[in-house]
Structure 1
């Protein structure tokens, strides 16, 4: 049972309907981003030959197609996401993205210097990407669910 603006049982108020519509738009946008990522993952795994699909060589046309799908999905999805979320969500995303970028700078530059000093192997680009994503996601979750 829902309550209207006067607190009595009945239809949803205008603000509640707007909130539900916004939540549907956000959910739809996130689903579209996930589907785009799923398509790229599926397509790139097709030519893996049983090895790790993220590191396996692939046909040039496949690499171009996956890149186009990823760039279009990421560009459209990011634009759409920031159109439908509120200012708190935007702030949380900006802060998490900044923390992730700073972490990338620190890890890559440190690793690169230590590699040049022959103390570490050459920086592994996919590993750097994964580290950056994990730190960004953790920062976002901290911003989203902090007390």
Structure 2
């Protein structure tokens, strides 16, 4: 595990950045039910946060599990911990990684690919775009830098 050095003192921590409204509302509720507010303020972490409109990307069964977790602290904690890695990891670093271990020990798969586009006629020789998935959930926004790590938003829930 690498030693984390905050890129700037005035950046918000992960929890405060989530307060700004980045997360699927039920996911944000899980943070409170599990009591992880302080943990997300202090630890050097990576968190995969479901986007606000996650309900459009999850199955009815997953939605039922989330609704159950809103009334069950143990289940809320388990789901939340599936989304947290105890190390700040950028999307670029994920290019060389095939899986990560979450806070509760779950192994989650990573598939990050850089695609070269040779059909551009710009001054640069090639253009590149990246596709990334965590447990088959597309990463929508990567590398949201916080004082204590990174947020990556995903289209889905890691169960």
Structure with greater contact order relative to length (CA < 8 Å, sep ≥ 6): 2
Bigger share in strand: 2
**Could you state the TM-score of these two structures normalised by the residue count of structure 2?**
0.26
Q: TM-score normalized by structure 1?
A: 0.27
